[in-house]
Structures are given as C-alpha cells and as structure tokens.
Structure 1
Amino acid sequence: MAGALATLVVFGAIQAIPHGRDHTNPPVVSEPAWDSPRTRELAAAACFLCHSNETRWPGYTNVAPVSWALTDHILTARDTFNFSAWEEFPTSARLIEAAIRDGRMPPWNFRLLHPEARLSAAEKEELIAGIRATLGG
C-alpha cells in the first residue's frame, strides 16, 4: 500500500516538469518535389508524425514520462531528416529505403499506436519507388 502511494505521489510530482509539453510545431519551410501525391500520402502516413513539422500530438503526449520520451524521439527524428524543412535536412533515397526495408522505420512501437503507418508490403515497395523517383536515388 505504501509503495503504491509513493508511486502515485512520484507520478503526480513528475507531471510538474515541463519538458515535452511544448507541442508547437515549427512552420513547414520546404518539402521535396514529390513525384506523385501518392508518394506524399504514403510518406505522410508512415513518416510525417516524427520526420516533419506536421506532428499531431495526442493527449497521451502530455503525460510524463511519455511526453519526455516522445518529444526527444521526435526532435531526434527531425534532426535526422525533416520532410518539412527539406533543404536543411536532405537525405538520400538509399538511407530511407534501407530503414523501410529492414523494418526500422516506422518503428514497431509507432506502428502499434498508429495503424495508418502499418504499410503493406506492396505499399512499402510503392513508397520506396516513390522516394527514389522523388529524390533521384
């Protein structure tokens, strides 16, 4: 009983730590010149929540420590490459293709919470072909 109460007190106390609560998205500066609307649609479904400035922040992203982890993940993803600031963060089609093919992207825990990111094998191939056509890789 005392352990549960202590856990509840600690959980309540960490909610006062503001890290991970500012969900203001930076503006969209530039995007790749997409080869087709379908490629953009697939990239938006599988990639944009982390790799763009168009992140949607569901309610659970306001609860620490989830807010801390997700904010750090999204900021790291945007620093890796950002579809909304493409000229600042260009990357090669081969790097994106490798991440999709080997299952690193989108990550399993993201797919668990975001069914729209669960691309079929055919959709993955379509996205990879579209990324190649868009980025010239």
Structure 2
Amino acid sequence: MNMKTVSIAVILGAVAIQFIPYGKDHTNPPIMSEVQWDSPRTQELFNRACADCHSNETKYPWYSNIAPVSWLVAHDIEEGREKMNVSMIGVQTKNKLKDAADEVKEGEMPIPPYLIAHPEARLSDAEKKELAEGLEKTFGVEEK
C-alpha cells in the first residue's frame, strides 16, 4: 500500500466515525435534587473542578462533537455520574458521596485528561484541601 492510499483510508475512516451517534447526545438528565452545600466556596470549587462529570449540569465543550473525542467525553461523564452525581442526592447512596473528599485529597480527582482540556479546573493544594473539607462537611466522612 502506498502512502496516498493509506492517507485516503485514514481520512475516510475519520469522516465515517463522525456518523456514529455515541457521544453526540448533549442533553443533561433532569436534576433530581439540590445539594445543601456547607458553604458557597465548596460549591464554587466543586462547580469549577467537578460538576461537568459529577452532576447533571454538564457544559459540553466544542470538541465533544468530534469522534473519537466525543466517545471519551461521553464515557467519562457516564462513569463520573455513576460514581458520584450531586444531582441525584437521595437516589444515589451516601457512601459514594462520602468517597469524594478522599478522591480529592489523594489527587485522583479531577482526572488528568480533564485538567488538560480544562485548566480552570486545576486546584492548588490549598484549594484541594478546602474542597475536601467542604465535601466532608457537606456529605459526611467515609467510614474506614
């Protein structure tokens, strides 16, 4: 196979995958409940660093319309909402919510790919501590 044939195949493949609908539905499910945050600051930090994947108030960026990136975005949102969704308080177990502070403390959240695309979500060490403490006050502490 020559380079021209490979290039054409790659371009056709890239165009063809745009017609796969997964990751293109950018409607947010209804909000089932509102969180009673311990403080406006906790809510601000959560909204800045967590809400896109852990609530039903996702703001979809332009690149979430382009496959295969749209597939990754959709997967991360689905997984994030399954693990913790503040729009589903009362429907989702309290234990999932209690894990959140540990995830922030251990540097596991927000995930690195999200931070690359959303530098505003990058939290300083002091902000991580502040958010973790606020999450503990809001949702309780995970029992070890």
TM-score, normalised with respect to structure 1 = 0.93
Cα distance change on mapping 1:30 and 1:94 into 2, 3 Å: closer
Match of 1:122 in 2: 126
Q: CA deviation at 1:94?
A: 4.8
Match of 1:103 in 2: 107
2:58 equivalent to 1:32: no
Cα distance change on mapping 1:122 and 1:94 into 2, 3 Å: same
Question: C-alpha separation between the residues in 2 aligned to 1:70 and 1:136?
Answer: 29
Question: C-alpha separation between the residues in 2 aligned to 1:90 and 1:38?
Answer: 24
RMSD of the alignment, in Å?
1.3
Match of 1:86 in 2: 89
Higher-helix-fraction structure: 2
2:55 equivalent to 1:52: yes
Question: C-alpha separation between the residues in 2 aligned to 1:54 and 1:94?
Answer: 20
Query: What whole-Å deviation, never above 9, does each CA across 1:14-58 have from its counterpart, x for those lacking one?
Result: 111111111000122213211111101101111100000010111
Identical-pair percentage? 45
Match of 1:75 in 2: 78
Question: C-alpha separation between the residues in 1 aligned to 2:80 and 2:59?
Answer: 14
Matched residue type, 1:134: T
SS at match of 2:55: coil
- Decide whether the 8 Å contact of 1:81 with 1:91 is kept in 2: no
Q: CA deviation at 1:90?
A: 3.6
Q: Which runs of 5+ in 1 are unaligned?
A: none
Query: What whole-Å deviation, never above 9, does each CA across 1:80-105 have from its counterpart, x for those lacking one?
Result: 11011111124446511221122210
Matched residue type, 1:47: C
Runs of 4+ in 1 over 4 A off after TM superposition: none
Matched residue type, 1:32: V
